Structure formats: C-alpha cells, structure tokens
Amino acid sequence: MMHPHPETGPGEAPAPWLVRLPEVFADEGAALLRRWSPTGSKCLGSEFHLLKAASAASMTGPEAELFASWRLPVHHSWPCRPRTMPGFVEKAAQALARRFAAAELQTVQVGLLQTGTPNTYYKKLASNLRGRALQLFPKLTGAESDLAPDRDVLFCLLGPEGVYAGVATPRQANGFRAGGPRSMARSGPDVISRAGAKIEEALDFLRLYRDPPTAGAHWLELGASPGGMTAALLVRGYQVTAVDRAPLDDRLAGVRGLRFVRVDAPDFRCPPGEVYDALLCDLNGEPRAAMGIVGGHSRSLRRGAPVIFTLKLAGVEGVAPALELRDQIEVQARDAGLSLLAQTHLPSNRREFTLVLETLDGRRR
C-alpha cells in the first residue's frame, strides 16, 4: 500500500505538501509558511499553498493541526491550464489512474483550489473528473456516505493552476472531503445564528476520531444564547440543558428535549445525580476561565463523554502566543480529568480553534 506520508531518506529533499491556511490567519500565514517550508511556497487558489519542501513531522504537530485546516502530501501534480486543455478530464483521469493504480483506496475525492467560488466552470470540471476517475478505479472499497477515517483516499484538487493529488487517510488530511471539512454555513430567516453551523462542523470533525453521541444523548451547553448551537443539537435528536444569562431565541420556546437554565455559566450547578453524555462550551471571554468552568462539571460527565470547546483568540496575536494559550488550556483540562483528542480550525470558526476533549476511557474509532 502506498504510504500516505512519504518519509525521506538521508540527503533526500522533503516532499511537497498542499496546505489550507484560513484567511482569518493571514497575518500569521507568512511566518507559518516559512517555518513549514524554508525553501519556499506557492499560493494556489484562495487559501491553499503548495509547500515546496515540508517534513511530515512539521505537518502533524499542534501548529499545523490548528493553523492548517487541511493538509495533503502531494504525490502527483500537473501544473497546467485546464480551461484551454483539449480533453483535460480524460487526460487528468488517466494520469491519476496510472499513478495510483496500486493504491488500496476507499474512494476518490475531487475539490477546488478556489474556495467559495461562484464560477461554475471548475465545479463542473471537478465533478466530471471525479466521475471519470471513479470509472478507472473499479476496486474502490468505501461507501461515500460512511468513509473510514483511517483508510486511504485519493484526494485531488484542481483550479486554473492545474491538478494536485495525493493519498492520505481522512484523519491525516483533516477531513473527509478534498480541501477540508464540509462547510455547514447557515443562513436564512429560520436560522437562529451562524453558530449552528459550527457545532455541525465540529460533530463532522469528531467522526475522524470517534463516533459522535447517538440520538437521545444529553448535552450540557455552556454559553447557549441565542441558541444556534442548541437548535442544531435538538434537530439531531439530542436532549440539551442550555445555560446562559441571556435569553434564547423565542423560536426555541417549548421545544421538546430542551431545558434552559437562565443563569451566568460560572454560577450554574449541575442538579444532584444528573449525568451528561457530552458537553459543549462556546463561552465568550477569557479562555482559561471558560475551561475552569468546564472542568468544574467534568464529574457530571459520563466516562468517554466528548467535550467540544471553542478556544477564543481575542487579543491573542501571533503563532507562539496562540500555541502557549492552547498548551495552558490542555494542562487545565488534564487536571480536570479531560484528555485532548483532536484540535482544528473549522470553516465557521473565526479567530478561534475548536478543541475536542473527552473524559477518561473514551471510545476511539
């Protein structure tokens, strides 16, 4: 089987990597790219960067996990101009088939280098390329609706700059789809707040590491107002105890499965004997204080319960201070009996990270 993260031998140059740096971290981007690839990088599309030489180790530490929302070792690249290339789809698909014929793949994913583009040309091109590639890989083993996080996928991204592809597991690449986690952006008159997209993205990300709580599970949500995340959890069939000093949106009044406690989060006390299956914290304010509140409720969580914690970076500038804050939060969590399972920047995150923790004896995939 092709190794998803090729190691280099003595004297060999590190492999190229394709990474996605969210626009919100543009100020830190130049410094990060220099640290990951001292020999230089090339901007592709809107948020993607081709690192000319980066070690596998630099792409698997906390720095890359937090700031690079998606990352892929590039095993095949074809710099070209697809729009002016006769027979582009067939040529690209045949090249992928030749290059990756021996790989044991779940599926082939094709995405766009230009994120959020309204241009339908490359969307259609990506769809056609994926369709043709699937025909040329008859031994694919994964169902598209339930990919395993630890088995190989051929990820391919294309745009005006050409085609860039590599093999990695979804967990290694940080998402089940080419280019990163699925964006669950919500809008419209029935949407309470954009925060609903954030918890849906977090649960999708959680699948890379363990099964999310099953329907009927009881969540404790700290910092719930106005209720965007609350609504998203309720739609999934969860029970929610929502805590906030500010009111929830009127549309949540009387919704089955919801218990709202209108009190400041530091003053909330879990009812005696009540046990929660999961905890969600999106509190504003000082992150260490927020983690202190979370830690105070850890004894009310079942063993193996996931904890989704938003680490806010308001007032924190630069890579080193952000990593230092993250380290402090991890120490706090560990002292409270919580272990850090995974960390990332989700599509709906602003200047903040999402940390996934769990109480002891968690069930991992």
* Structural domain includes residue 365: no
Quote the number of domains for the chain: 2
Question: Which amino acid, 57?
Answer: A
b/e code 114-149 from CB counts within 10 Å (16+ = b): bbeeeeeebeebbebbbebbeeebeebebeeeebbb
Q: Is residue 147 part of a domain?
A: yes
Task: Supply the Cα-derived Rg of the chain in whole angstroms.
Answer: 22
Same domain, 138 and 25: yes
List C-alpha distances in Å: 5 to 8, 22, 74, 169, 343. 10, 23, 9, 10, 20
Asked, for residue 6, whether it belongs to a domain, the answer is no
Which one, of 205, 215, 218, 197, lies nearest residue 355 by Cα? Answer: 205
Give me the CATH number covering residue 158.
3.30.2130
Is 337 within a domain?
yes
Same domain, 201 and 248: yes
Same domain, yes or no: 83 and 129: yes
Asked if residue 169 and residue 21 are part of one domain, the reply reads yes
Smallest CA-to-CA distance from 111 within 127, 88, 87, 96 is with: 127
| CATH number of the domain residue 251 falls in | 3.40.50.150
Q: How far apart are CA 279 and CA 288, in angstroms?
A: 17
281/262 Cα distance (integer angstroms): 15
Residue 45 lies in a domain: yes
Query: Are 164 and 201 in a shared domain?
Result: no
Residue 214 lies in a domain: yes
Same domain (yes/no): 209, 341 = yes
Q: In 3D, which of 313, 303, 320 has the Cα closest to residue 353? A: 313
Task: Return d(Cα 80, Cα 74) in angstroms, integer.
Answer: 16
SS3 content of the chain, % helix, strand, coil (to 5): 30, 25, 45
The tens-digit pLDDT sequence of the chain (365 residues) is 333 444 333 344 577 999 999 999 999 999 999 999 989 999 998 899 999 988 888 898 899 999 999 999 999 999 999 999 999 999 999 999 999 999 999 999 999 998 766 678 999 999 999 999 999 998 888 777 789 999 999 999 999 999 999 999 999 999 999 998 777 666 555 677 878 899 999 999 999 999 999 999 999 999 999 999 999 999 999 999 999 999 999 999 999 999 999 999 999 999 999 999 999 999 999 999 999 999 999 999 999 999 999 999 999 999 999 999 999 999 999 999 999 999 999 999 999 999 999 997 654 44
If asked whether residues 146 and 214 sit together in one domain, one would say no
**What is the domain range of residue 282?**
195-359
Terminal-to-terminal C-alpha distance of the chain: 21
pTM (predicted TM-score): 0.91
Same domain, yes or no: 234 and 351? yes
Q: Are residues 162 and 226 in the same domain?
A: no
Neighbours of 324 (CB within 10 A): 12
Residues 139, 231, single domain; the answer is no
> With contact defined as beta carbons under 8 Å apart, do 152 and 1 qualify?
yes
Report the mean per-residue pLDDT for the chain.
90
Cis bond upstream, residue 149 (ω within 30): no
Phi and psi at residue 52, in whole multiples of 5°? -65, -35
Q: Do residues 291 and 158 both lie within one domain?
A: no
Residues 209 and 349 in one domain: yes
Residues with Cβ within 8 Å of residue 335, at least 6 apart in sequence: 295
Domain boundary among 143, 173, 203: 173
Asked whether residue 187 is assigned to any structural domain, the reply reads no
Q: Per residue in 86-129, pLDDT tens?
A: 999 999 999 999 999 999 999 999 999 987 666 789 999 999 99
- Whether 290 maps to a domain, the answer reads yes
